Amino acid sequence: MDLVWKDINSSTMDLSDYANYVLKKEELKKNYDEYKPNNKMLKNLETMLLENNEKLLIFAMGAEWCHDCSEKLPKMLKIVQDLKNELIDFRVLYGIKTNPFHKENEPLWHKQHSPPEATNPKFDLQKIPTIYIFNKDGKYIDRIVESPTHPSLEEDLYHILKKYLKKAN
């Protein structure tokens, strides 16, 4: 995927903005409060980042109307908050809207009413939430689409980073 951090042009919520947003939304706050990240996995992730002098840039796209976004993104917030803040830059872009009249070969996302990243082919947005992971230089590493492939988001992050570092070294 030919995607870099600088391709994100829309105004996003940073860690603090999104944390404040979550506190104001009952369902998001509930999902945040109830989530208990795997501390061992967080420690492994943190150690791997520190030992390799790496940092993750995480960009999540979603929407308020999306149940999966309401479930997964508050969890990702808690994961990022539990890690050392200097190791991760977390940004959230809400406002994705579907185009109910899209034809089979057209994008699902409404071009006029969604942020430009939703319809930019570089992002290849298929489902939301989509969580894009970049390295410290802003180069795309991988993404988590809708749900983690491992038992938890932090485990997905760990395996994505491990695979990336193995290729890089």
Q: What tens digit of pLDDT does each residue of 22-78 get?
A: 999 999 999 999 999 999 999 999 999 999 999 999 999 999 999 999 999 999 999
Q: What is the CATH number of the domain that holds 33?
A: 3.40.30.10
Angle at the Cα of 54 (from 130 to 70), degrees rounded to 5? 25
Contact 145, 130 (CB under 8 A): yes
The 130-134 sheet, strands edge to edge: 88-93, 56-61, 130-134, 140-145
- Supply the pLDDT for residue 55: 95
pLDDT at 169 over 90: no
Of 89, 58, 71, the closest CA to residue 128 belongs to 71
State the total domains in the chain. Answer: 1
Each residue of 125-162: pLDDT tens digit? 999 999 999 999 999 999 999 999 999 999 999 999 99
pLDDT > 70: percent of the chain:
99
Q: How confident is the model at residue 4 (pLDDT cuts 50, 70, 90)?
A: very high
Domain that holds residue 61: 5-168
